[in-house]
Structure 1
Amino acid sequence: MKEKNKKKMLLKLFLSTLYLSAFTFGGGYVIVTLMKKKFVDQYHWIEENEMLDLVAIAQSSPGAIAVNGAIVVGYKLSGILGALVAILGTVLPPFVILSVISVFYKAFRNNWLISQLLEGMQAGVGAVIASVTLDMGIPIVKEKEAVSLIIMVGAFVAACLFGINVVYIVIVCGIIGIIRTLLLNRRKMK
């Protein structure tokens, strides 16, 4: 019975990541919101705070955030096999779509209808990315923890106003998180 449930969950994971990847346009950050809705809100496989942690891991790792997100979610749910299933589901649609597009690239490149379609999609993607930002930022604001708010605002200012590379921001935020955790653990021991 347990083996049957695992296979069912793996199939559901594959179909979910396949669906999300096939119908998500505009980059990895768009898929994060959809993954949250699917895995946290609909299936209840992961808690919201845990999803934020997994997204942070995915974002701070090299590679595409959609694939990294699928890896950490798949691994969390079912170990290495879950990660492999999620990777396959996430990579398959773009691989097929880009393979087809590359064959017909010259025809697509100069097609007015395709260029208008892509321009319209860019506007929608901007809105979805803004939604991701709100979905990830609101829980931090709701916690009303001063250090988290300062880190969030500081990271925003560093990226948007000073143009600091996101890699450096993530590293600094990680270091701050480590220091903060060590200090909190030291206080608990006393």
Structure 2
Amino acid sequence: MKKDLKFFWTLFISTFTLSAFTFGGGYVIVPLMRKKFVETLGWIDEEEMLDLIAIAQSAPGPIAVNSSIIIGYRLAGIPGALVTTFGTVLPPMVILSAISQFYTAFRDNVVVSLVLKGMGIGVAAVIVDVVYTMAKGVVKTKDALWIIVMCVALVVSLFTSVNVVFVILACGVIGAINVIAQDKKTGKGGKAA
């Protein structure tokens, strides 16, 4: 893939438009990033995108920015990460700066309040789509361990008071143990040949 000015412009515009026209936070932007970089541009394959998003979720900070950094770095190293980060951060920064100037007018406006409630319904629908897409990807692997981990994580998150951070950490530990076990099975345990 040629990394010229056109490539970086496409990378910037992609993250800029996704960030500018997405309401609801990182979990809403994730499926749109997948659609853009996997389906539309074809720069990343489906499985790798899921891996990159998993890494972004486990890192501290906003998932939209983390995802942008990781995708940009994967596609074009540090310059790509800088371009995608700037493209993702710029729209909310401009929008929030403008809104802060008119906060008192927005605060009491009934129409604005109703519009935001309507957007909340749309955000919920997009999050359901994200969960469905990611769960479908896990089920496609036909790996019993990951299907069980997914189901247990869902049950623990929904029906207990365990903090979701601990659920994510437990899943990360299980993943790390699984990778180490797989490496030992295949002989990739890090020993020199």
Which TM bucket (shorter chain)? over 0.9
Aligned mate of 2:105, from 76, 92, 107: 107
What is the deviation of 1:185?
2.1
What is the deviation of 1:188?
2.4
Q: Counterparts in 2 of 1:1-190, with a 5 A limit? A: 5-189=3-187
Q: Distance in 2 between matches of 1:131 and 1:163?
A: 25
Judge conservation of contact 1:60–1:167 (CA < 8 Å) in 2.
no
What is the deviation of 1:4?
7.2
Judge conservation of contact 2:26–2:62 (CA < 8 Å) in 1.
yes
State the superposition RMSD in angstroms. 1.5
Q: Distance in 1 between matches of 2:86 and 2:154?
A: 33
TM superposition score normalised by structure 2: 0.93
- Runs of 4+ with >3 A deviation: none
Q: Distance in 2 between matches of 1:27 and 1:71?
A: 16
Say which SS state the counterpart of residue 63 (structure 1) adopts: coil
**Counterpart in the other structure of 2:191:** none
Q: Distance in 2 between matches of 1:187 and 1:13?
A: 39
Pair 82,164 (structure 1): closer, same or farther in 2 beyond 3 Å: same
Q: Distance in 2 between matches of 1:72 and 1:127?
A: 25
TM superposition score normalised by structure 1: 0.95
Unaligned runs of 5+ in 1: none
Q: Distance in 2 between matches of 1:154 and 1:7?
A: 46
Unaligned runs of 5+ in 2: 188-193
Judge conservation of contact 2:68–2:84 (CA < 8 Å) in 1.
yes
